[in-house]
Amino acid sequence: MADHPAFQLSSENYEVLVNAVVDYAIYMLDLNGHVISWNVGAERIKGYSREEILGEHFSCFFTEEDRLGGKPDLALNTAKNGGRFQDEGWRLRKDGTRFWALTVLDAVYDRQGRLIGLAKITRDITERHEAQQRLNEAREQLLQSQKLEALGQLTGGLAHDFNNLLTIIRGAADLGSRKTTDAGLLRQFEAIRNAADHGSNITRQLLAFARREPLRPQIIGPSETLRSTVQLLRQSLRSELQLTCDIPSGLPSIEVDPSQLELSLLNLAVNARDAITGAGTIHLSATCCELHDQYDGLQGNFVAISLRDNGCGISPEFAQRVFEPFFTTKQFGQGTGLGLSQVYGFAKQSGGDVRLHSEPGKGTTVTLYLPTRTRPDIDATDQPAAKHILLVEDDVNLAQVCKDMLEMMGFQVTLAHDAATAMQTFNQLLPVDLLFSDIRMPGGTNGLELANRIRQRQPELPVLLTTGFSEAQRSEALIYPLLNKPYTYESLSQAISELL
Ligand SMILES: Nc1ncnc2c1ncn2[C@@H]1O[C@H](COP(=O)(O)OP(=O)(O)OP(=O)(O)O)[C@@H](O)[C@H]1O
Ligand SMILES: [Mg+2]
């Protein structure tokens, strides 16, 4: 076909054609790799003019790593021996900037079949490459958040069951220690109680990760809260660690549970401390920022709170996993792997997110994004206030366990140990949303009578009674719902939610 007159192309026309192509760099190399022709596309993509580049060796287009790795020679030899070398990777422009290139190097032969040079075609596909990169990252991110979501559900269920077990263990230890004066036994009960308390702390953090920890959000000015937290953080750091901060005044309000925010920052600071050997710096900063669909689709104004350290950093393969519950690189007994899980759960549950950026050997920055609240007056009334429960229980230890459980469920609790105090509290502390009382109590008035009296003053008040005693007392109490002792977190929570 090339011999057909219509397809005869003079070398002049050929040059016009090659120069009309501006999206591809098309040029020739001699057998040693020196540039012997150059089109407009090459000038546009690589930045060298024809005069500058003719005669130069083509290795100047490669990055330093590739040059040191011998890639130019490899390309040349592969094309000379096998006819073609194809590659995709970073290349350099004249000004030193990089672009992602798709390149083909083809051997060129004359009519006698002698190798006379190499034709090189390069295409700048940086944009496509970056789009692909962004897509991959988004996919990775989605997978990661789906994984954490699934883990959250599993963990939440487990933590719930564990709470029940721990309530029983702790309750039994409490009861047991009340039935003995044997010092050895008392010590053992104390050990059981401590272990159960330790377990409760762990389940709390698990619930936090699973976003089932009841939060008590308040609208706060972050500047003040952060500044007072800095004092707390200082106490948990070694003296050779420097804690600096950059917290501008007047940051917009956010709506979060302040104690969980404090706990998150403490968890981050402790991690930073552990990542630094010897002396180092930890920097706490806060700014305002606007997000447009970044980070799992967050939109709007956020306060970004960052904690940066110059510690050991996290290797990329671990950085994906640090938010998972129980992921730790610390020695047994030094870390549970729940610190960042709490931070993650808190951020998500507060309508925000958390991001981690780390460079091994250089340090780590963790940033919490928390949504701002621009109309505090309206928002504050929108938020239902925590329901208030009056708890009456004469057993001091049981009362404490029960109070903890109720608070964990998100209630505000006022505790009284006998009916008289309960009545007084009720008179002073209106409004109460529910009365939860033990039936048998010292001091003349029992729980049933207390309930009757309180009902006279507030007829609609939901009442829940509890007892561990005789059938007779139960039938008497039947006008009110009854929860049998020993009750569990689950059964208590259910009984109360049926009433409220
Ligand atoms: N600032 C940091 N620098 C380096 N590594 C970190 C940093 N923060 C977290 N990590 C890594 O992430 C892991 C998980 O952190 P996380 O706070 O969840 O658990 P932990 O610190 O190991 O234990 P816990 O916080 O329950 O005591 C750590 O073991 C550590 O390997
Ligand atoms: Mg930690």
Residues 346 and 452 in one domain: no
Q: For the domain that residue 222 is a member of, what is the CATH number?
A: 3.30.565.10
Q: How far apart are CA 44 and CA 67, in angstroms?
A: 23
Residues 115 and 51 in one domain: yes
Residues 370 and 434 in one domain: no
Instruction: Provide the CA 261 distance to its chain's centre, in angstroms.
Output: 13
Among 380, 413, 434, the domain-final residue is 380
* Residue 444, helix vs strand vs coil: coil
**What would the DSSP string read from start to end of 255-292?**
EE-HHHHHHHHHHHHHHHHHH--SSEEEEEEEEEEEEE
Q: How far apart are CA 33 and CA 409, in angstroms?
A: 74
Which pLDDT belongs to residue 2? 45
Reading the chain (500 residues) residue by residue, the pLDDT tens digits are: 444 555 566 777 777 888 888 889 999 999 999 999 999 999 999 999 999 999 999 999 999 999 999 999 999 999 999 999 999 999 999 999 999 999 999 999 999 999 999 999 999 999 999 988 888 888 887 787 788 888 888 888 788 778 778 888 888 888 888 888 999 999 999 999 899 988 888 888 888 788 776 777 888 989 989 988 998 888 888 889 999 999 988 889 999 998 889 989 999 999 999 999 999 999 999 999 998 877 777 888 999 999 999 999 999 989 989 999 889 999 877 888 889 999 999 999 899 999 999 999 999 999 999 999 864 443 444 445 678 999 999 888 788 888 888 887 888 899 999 998 898 888 876 688 999 998 877 777 888 899 999 988 888 899 999 876 544 455 565 688 888 777 777 788 889 989 98
End-to-end CA distance of the chain: 89
Which pLDDT belongs to residue 374? 66
Residues 175 and 254 in one domain: no
150 CA → ligand 1 middle, Å: 21
Exposed/middle/buried for residue 430 (C-beta within 10 Å: 0-12, 13-18, 19+): exposed
343 CA → ligand 2 middle, Å: 10
Nearest listed ligand to the Cα of residue 366: 1
Nearest listed ligand to the Cα of residue 310: 1
Nearest listed ligand to the Cα of residue 338: 1
- Measured by CA distance, the residue closest to atom 19 of ligand 1 is 337
Which pLDDT belongs to residue 59? 96
Residues 401 and 441 in one domain: yes
Which pLDDT belongs to residue 400? 84
Q: Is residue 326 part of a domain?
A: yes
Residues 299 and 228 in one domain: yes
* CB atoms closer than 10 angstroms to residue 204: 18
Q: Is residue 488 part of a domain?
A: yes
**CB proximity list for 67: less than 8 A, separation 6 or greater:** 59
**CB proximity list for 379: less than 8 A, separation 6 or greater:** 219, 255, 373
- Measured by CA distance, the residue closest to atom 25 of ligand 1 is 339
237 CA → ligand 2 middle, Å: 13
User: Taking the C-alpha atoms of 144, 149, 153 and 159 in order, what is their torsion angle to the nearest 10 degrees?
Assistant: 70
Task: Check residue 200 and report its DSSP letter.
Answer: H
Q: For the domain that residue 485 is a member of, what is the CATH number?
A: 3.40.50.2300
- Measured by CA distance, the residue closest to atom 10 of ligand 1 is 271
Whether the model pTM is above 0.75: no
Angle between helices 183-209 and 396-408 (to 10 degrees): 10
- Residue 254 · residue 370 · CB < 8 Å: yes
Among 176, 209, 242, the domain-final residue is 209
Nearest listed ligand to the Cα of residue 330: 1
- Measured by CA distance, the residue closest to atom 27 of ligand 1 is 335
Residues 415 and 303 in one domain: no
Nearest listed ligand to the Cα of residue 325: 1
- Measured by CA distance, the residue closest to atom 13 of ligand 1 is 328
Residues 144 and 171 in one domain: yes
Residues 457 and 485 in one domain: yes
Beta bridge partners of 494: none
Q: Which residues line ligand 1 (CB under 6 A)?
A: 267, 271-272, 275, 309, 311-314, 322, 327-330, 335-341, 364
Which pLDDT belongs to residue 53? 96
Among 335, 353, 380, the domain-final residue is 380
312 CA → ligand 2 middle, Å: 14
Residues 246 and 352 in one domain: yes
Host H or E run for residue 31 = none
271 CA → ligand 2 middle, Å: 5
Determine the structural domain holding residue 479 and report its residue range.
Answer: 384-499
316 CA → ligand 1 middle, Å: 14
Q: For the domain that residue 52 is a member of, what is the CATH number?
A: 3.30.450.20
**CB proximity list for 237: less than 8 A, separation 6 or greater:** 243, 269, 273, 282
269 CA → ligand 2 middle, Å: 8
90 CA → ligand 2 middle, Å: 38
Amino acid at 148: L
Beta bridge partners of 355: 367
Residues 222 and 285 in one domain: yes
**Looking at the 3D structure of the chain, how many domains does it have?**
4
Q: Is residue 155 part of a domain?
A: yes
Q: Is residue 3 part of a domain?
A: no
Q: How far apart are CA 382 and CA 376, in angstroms?
A: 10
- Measured by CA distance, the residue closest to atom 7 of ligand 1 is 271
Q: Is residue 5 part of a domain?
A: no
328 CA → ligand 1 middle, Å: 6
Q: Which of 326, 328, 332 to mutate to test the pocket of ligand 1 (most atoms within 8 A of CB)?
A: 328
Residues 117 and 203 in one domain: no
Atom of ligand 1 nearest to the CA of 334: 27
